[in-house]
Amino acid sequence: MDNGKIKHIGVFTSGGDSPGMNAALYGTVKVAEQHGIRVSGILKGYEGMIDGHFIPLESQQLQKTVHRGGTVLKTARSERFMAVDGRQLAFKSLQDNDIDAVVAIGGDGTFKGLIAFSEISKIPFIGIPGTIDNDLAGTDFTLGFDSAINTAIESIDKIKDTAESHNRVFIVEVMGRDSGYIAIHSGLGVGADAILIPESGEDFLQLLKKVKDYRSEDGFIVVVSEGDELGAELVASKIKELNPEVDLRITKLGHVQRGGNPSAFDRMLGIRLGAASVNALMNGERNVMAGILDNQLKFTPFDSVVKQHQLNEELYGLLKTLNT
């Protein structure tokens, strides 16, 4: 394996935090140390890159954080990096700190940032998909998605108890800005009565048919993705219009889905992708995201990963069956 000229890697987390990011940091630093490569953590994503906020990282400290949610490097969504001036400052900071390669952990905003950055920076970048939304192509699962759906399922199970006790309809909104992945997985997992996702508008009509016949003899759970075009409130008011008898509540799970200890799957995924990112840099890869496709490590160019992750056809079929 050729180490090339890489002596110092910078690593950062960016965008919405996701459980498993700390495990990815640990995997990155542990493998870099084995090859005698120094690693600096860049604090608060692109913001810290612009401001030159770097700290030395050691695997010994990070090992203690593998089981913790959030990100020890902090994170942010950076307005300044969107402008070319901000990106130029960031490039200068990396050069001033002798950073000759970067590992970026984040979602589609992070990768769009890297695509723009690569126009002015010749520094090689490797990406790790870190977002609960599972909305990136080039990997079957993003870091944090599995933990988020487990959190969502645990919460909706509890809502089901109270829904059944009161014979109520609950509209439960889950996260996923433009993607129905969290809704479909958590909705199927709890045995929801209907699931509404941005990718499938016509399911709303099916829901109305079902709810029209609902006679308040049991609970009724509708899982709605936050990215769905109608949204929880409008869905609720349409249901009430159609069937004024129903006793209905809306619950938005919100940021609880982003926190908590990572699942076993996300810890493993983080460590695997962290390790893979350093190995990829040493093998001369650049501007690609490490992902797992069909349980194989794969590297996909940034411009292909920001295309929306297509919904799995089989799951989509299941969703249709459930919604009828």
Minimum distance between the CB of residue 258 and ligand F6P, rounded to whole angstroms?
5
The response to whether 108 counts as a known ligand-binding position is yes
Minimum distance between the CB of residue 309 and ligand F6P, rounded to whole angstroms?
13
* Beta-bridge partner residues of 308: 136
Residue found under tokens 């009828």: 324
> Interface residues for ligand F6P in 174-193 (CB under 6 A)?
175-177
Q: Report which of 22, 26, 19, 56 is spatially closest to residue 39, judged by C-alpha positions.
A: 56
Cβ atoms of 280 and 288 closer than 8 Å: yes
Helix residue ranges per DSSP H, the chain:
21-34, 45-51, 59-62, 84-96, 108-117, 145-166, 181-190, 203-212, 231-242, 264-282, 302-305, 313-323
Choice from 47, 100, 133, 228 touching ligand F6P (CB under 6 A): 133
279-309: burial string, b at 16+ Cβ within 10 Å, e else: bbbbeebbbbbbbbeeeeeebbbbeebbeeb
The response to whether 257 counts as a known ligand-binding position is yes
Minimum distance between the CB of residue 306 and ligand F6P, rounded to whole angstroms?
13
Residue 27 or 129 with smaller CB distance to ligand F6P: 129
Is 133 an annotated catalytic residue? yes
Cβ atoms of 112 and 127 closer than 8 Å: no
Single out the catalytic residue among 133, 146, 203, 228: 133
Q: Can residue 131 be called a binding residue for ligand F6P (CB under 6 A)?
A: yes
Choice from 30, 87, 185, 258 touching ligand F6P (CB under 6 A): 258
The response to whether 193 counts as a known ligand-binding position is yes
Q: At what angle do helices 203-212 and 231-242 cross, to 10 degrees?
A: 40
For 8, 10, 28, 275, 289, the CA distances from 281, given in Å and listed in that order, are 11, 12, 11, 10, 11
Q: Interface mask (CB under 6 A) for ligand F6P, residues 266-295, using x and -?
A: ------------------------------
> For residue 213, which amino acid is it?
D
> Interface residues for ligand F6P in 91-120 (CB under 6 A)?
107
For residue 136, the 8-state DSSP code is B
Choice from 132, 196, 223, 276 touching ligand F6P (CB under 6 A): 132
Minimum distance between the CB of residue 18 and ligand F6P, rounded to whole angstroms?
7
Minimum distance between the CB of residue 223 and ligand F6P, rounded to whole angstroms?
14
User: Measured between alpha carbons, how far is 272 from 161 in angstroms, rounded to an integer?
Assistant: 38
> Interface residues for ligand F6P in 1-60 (CB under 6 A)?
16
The response to whether 132 counts as a known ligand-binding position is yes
For 132, 133, 150, 183, 245, the CA distances from 192, given in Å and listed in that order, are 21, 20, 15, 10, 20
Among the residue ranges 46-54, 126-134, 197-205, 273-281, the one whose residues contact ligand F6P (CB under 6 A): 126-134
The residues assigned a catalytic role are 133
- Annotated binding-site residues read 16, 77-78, 107-110, 131-133, 160, 168, 175-177, 191-193, 226, 249, 255-258
- Annotated binding-site residues for ATP read 16, 77-78, 107-110
- Annotated binding-site residues for Mg(2+) read 108
Contacts with ligand F6P, residue ranges (CB under 6 A): 16, 107, 131-133, 175-177, 226, 258
